[in-house]
Amino acid sequence: MSKDDFKKICDNISSISPFIRFVGVIGERGELLAYKRRPELEPLLNARDTQYQFSHIAIKTDLEGFFDKNLGEIEFVWEERKKVQTISFAINKSRVWITIDKKVLRTEMLRIIDSCLPIVKIHS
């Protein structure tokens, strides 16, 4: 996939909901391939911690692959944290990582997930 493809994924997903804070495509080595951030927001992580987070996602993605044969491939992972909610989707060996405002209702989270799945599946 090209950088333009990754940028298009970020643009399409970020337009799903005004509650989406950040959309990034993280490569298999933890590199940020493309992203889109809601303009008025301050990032919750500084540059160093952001790189650690992306490296963690890459390592976790690689380790999860060991279970794919028995459990099936991961479609998405939803985390609720104290300050933000995150969703990640697999696209081959890359991950689309999305952060969403904490105060979003679960119905909106489910709508975001359901809207992201077709976008991600096209590129998988």
CATH number (domain holding residue 23): 3.30.450.30
pLDDT band at 89 (very low <50, low <70, confident <90, very high): very high
Whether the per-residue pLDDT at 65 is higher than 80: the answer is no
Q: Exposure pattern of 74-84 as b/e (b: 16+ CB <10 Å)?
A: beebeeeeeeb
Whether the per-residue pLDDT at 12 is higher than 80: the answer is yes
Domain count, the chain: 1
Per the structure, the complete domain to which residue 109 belongs is given by 3-123
* Residue 52 one-letter amino acid: Y
- Quote the pTM value: 0.88
d(CA 44, CA 106): 22
Contact 7, 34 (CB under 8 A): yes
Q: Please provide residue 112's backbone torsions phi and psi, each rounded to the nearest 5 degrees.
A: -65, -45
According to the model, what pLDDT value does residue 1 have? 82
